Amino acid sequence: MMAREVWSDITPAARRDFIHWIVSPKRPETRVKRIETACDMLAKGKRRPCCFDWSGIYGKNLSCPVAAPEQPMNRRGD
């Protein structure tokens, strides 16, 4: 089976996963290597990228909130 045939058959979510996996590295060389790897995986019938770290899929601004330091209360209690 050709990579293009599998690409046409996978879900939009699976396509998004492949695209995000390809464009997420900082180095252009890594992105080129992932394009080659993705084409090979699709040609072999794989429908999702393997070994993808999903922790980085969301922006850094979605991290856990940090508690603000406690402020001393004034005499009225507010």
Does 60 score more than 80 pLDDT? no
Q: How many domains would you assign to the chain?
A: 1
Dig out the tokens for 30 from the structure.
């890594």
Q: Phi-psi bin for 65: left (phi > 0), alpha (psi -120 to 50), beta?
A: beta
3 exposure class (CB count in 10 Å sphere: 0-12, 13-18, 19+): middle
CA torsion 43→46→47→49, rounded to 10°? -100
Asked whether the beta carbons of 1 and 43 are under 8 A apart, the reply is yes
CA distance 5 to 46: 11
48 band by pLDDT with thresholds 50, 70 and 90: confident
Is residue 12 included in any domain, yes or no?
Answer: yes
Query: Which structural domain, as residue segments, surrounds residue 15?
Result: 3-51
Is residue 9 included in any domain, yes or no?
Answer: yes
Predicted local confidence at residue 62, as pLDDT: 46
Is residue 58 included in any domain, yes or no?
Answer: no
Is residue 69 included in any domain, yes or no?
Answer: no
Is residue 66 included in any domain, yes or no?
Answer: no
- What pTM does this model have? 0.63
Is residue 63 included in any domain, yes or no?
Answer: no
Is residue 44 included in any domain, yes or no?
Answer: yes
Is residue 70 included in any domain, yes or no?
Answer: no
